[in-house]
Structure 1
Amino acid sequence: MQRYFIDNQESQEHFTISGDDSHHIVRVMRMKSGDEIICVTPNGRSAVCQIEEITDEMVVANVVKWEEETRELPVHVVIASGLPKGDKLELIIQKGTELGACEFVPFTASRSIVKWDSKKAGKKVERWQKIAKEAAEQSHRNIVPSVKEPVSLKQLIKLADEYTYKLIAYEEEARAGEASVLSATLSKMEKDESLLIVFGPEGGLTAEEVTLLSENGFLACGLGPRILRTETAPLYALSAVSYHFELLR
């Protein structure tokens, strides 16, 4: 059943859908009155709804039943990615959303090949957020992860005060055979606590960046014995979190 995130909730009995989602329902999915969809509120509640009315500008759907099940991870995982080149960040956002990330924070790292253009920031972040929304709909999430505008490493460190645990995925730790920090961190985490994990761009983080992060409460960890690409490492970490909290228990 097709899923739509609704920006506002005016009633417990029905939803009014407009804009791109209305166009998708009518023009892409070719739905009609009587068809059912799932509507998700801004606070993460979802309801099976039946389309009641279709106009040129909106779709009105009546609530059939509210769902109790949630498909969210029991902990909040934030992915901080050193700006990679090409469309790698789009892949991280899309697949990371499918795997349960709640937020993405790109940052400019010393080895980032891409130079952030603040003049194009609005359109770029808007596209990233759209990718997250579409991936959340496809994977039947209850929330759409937020995507931040890229920050500096120092700004990232300031933002990190908001999170319960802070890790650095560092390839040198993987080479050294470190295998306990991520596991130990997940074992300590309680429901609704948050975990920020920092990943470097192509070429990884510099020793100076790792030192600065470590001095500000981050722990360096390995992600298994193999060296992973910048777009693979966040997906590995999210899969490990899902296994620990959703499959192992």
Structure 2
Amino acid sequence: MTAPVFLADPGMLDASSPGSRYVLEGQEARHAGVVQRRRPGERVDVVDGAGVRLRCEVADVEPGRLHLDVLERVEERPGAPRLVLVQALAKGDRDEMAIEAATEVGVDEVVPWQAQRAVVVWRGERAARSRAKWCATVRQAAKQSRRAHVPAVAEALDLRGLVARVEAVVAAGGAVVLLHEEAGTPLRDVRVPAAGSDGEVLVVVGPEGGVSDEEVAALTAAGAVTALLGPHVLRTSTAGPVALALLAERLRRW
């Protein structure tokens, strides 16, 4: 069984190397020592969310502190090209379910999209709270899936902002895939950057009510390609993770 993962803030592991001792503190230490009851001699990993992983052995446990002997330091490179999920806001926490599963699959960034048919609306304080909740969701999902990289959570985009993002990605040689149940091209036939190359692949998923004709026209005019995921219509909570899984295998990230 792989070692459990605990999170440190970016930069906190910079001075750690094999043979040194790292002290895990705060909520993560309490979770390790009190909830999981980690004891001396057990193996754990500490990651900074930016690719650094310390493979450690528990040396001592104190209230709110875990003393760890660093056995190995690994710097994990992110996958290439980058995988980005543009997820429409959805009711019933289905958008959070989508980004949670996408994180487990290996997405590099999630982008909240205020689609025209979305029932949920992010404005003002609610927008800040909701984005913070998305950040917490991907952080916990990365931890559960033993990832060294925590996906970035972008600011929410409306159609104009998304069109600008699509244009920039396409201009840089990337690809943008708009999942649509009436598309004529299967996802497997959509051209994407080669495995290991620079650039991004954006997967755009609409809300439960679907993507409007205006949105389809604007995004395809900006360079997005509509694609059919399969013979069945998936929920907004599952379409993105399924598409990302297929792309991850195709791009040899799996």
- SS for the counterpart of 1:242 is helix
Which residue matches 1:224? 230
Deviates more, 1:182-191 or 1:32-41: 182-191
Instruction: Pick one of 120, 131, 135 that aligns with 1:125.
Output: 131
**Cα shift readout 1:63-112 (whole Å, capped 9, x = no counterpart):** 112347x5964431100011111110111011111111111111111100
Confirm whether residue 65 of structure 1 aligns to residue 72 of structure 2: yes
Instruction: Pick one of 98, 105, 109 that aligns with 1:99.
Output: 105
Gaps of 5+ in 1: none
Letter in 2 for 1:134: Q
Letter in 2 for 1:5: L
Kindly report the root-mean-square deviation, in angstroms, between the aligned alpha carbons of the 2 structures. 2.4
What does 1:1-249 align with in structure 2 at a 5 Å threshold? Answer: 1-7=3-9, 8-9=12-13, 10-12=15-17, 13-67=20-74, 73-160=79-166, 161-162=168-169, 164-173=174-183, 177-179=184-186, 182-186=188-192, 188=194, 190-246=196-252
Letter in 2 for 1:49: C
Letter in 1 for 2:175: Y
- SS for the counterpart of 1:172 is coil
Q: 1:71/1:231 Cα in 2 relative to 1: closer, same or farther (>3 Å)?
A: farther
Contact 2:51/2:78, CA 8 A, preserved across alignment? no
Deviates more, 1:99-108 or 1:237-246: 237-246
Contact 1:5/1:41, CA 8 A, preserved across alignment? yes
Letter in 2 for 1:43: A
- SS for the counterpart of 1:246 is coil
Deviates more, 1:163-172 or 1:20-29: 163-172
Letter in 1 for 2:4: Q
Q: What's the TM-score, normalizing by structure 1? A: 0.87
- SS for the counterpart of 2:201 is strand
How many residues are paired up?
243
**Structure-2 separation of matches of 1:6 and 1:190:** 28
**Structure-2 separation of matches of 1:150 and 1:245:** 27
Letter in 1 for 2:93: D
Q: What's the TM-score, normalizing by structure 2? A: 0.85
**Structure-2 separation of matches of 1:246 and 1:158:** 28
Letter in 2 for 1:167: V
Gaps of 5+ in 2: none
**Structure-2 separation of matches of 1:41 and 1:113:** 35
Q: CA deviation at 1:53?
A: 3.6
Q: CA deviation at 1:178?
A: 2.2
Contact 2:51/2:77, CA 8 A, preserved across alignment? no
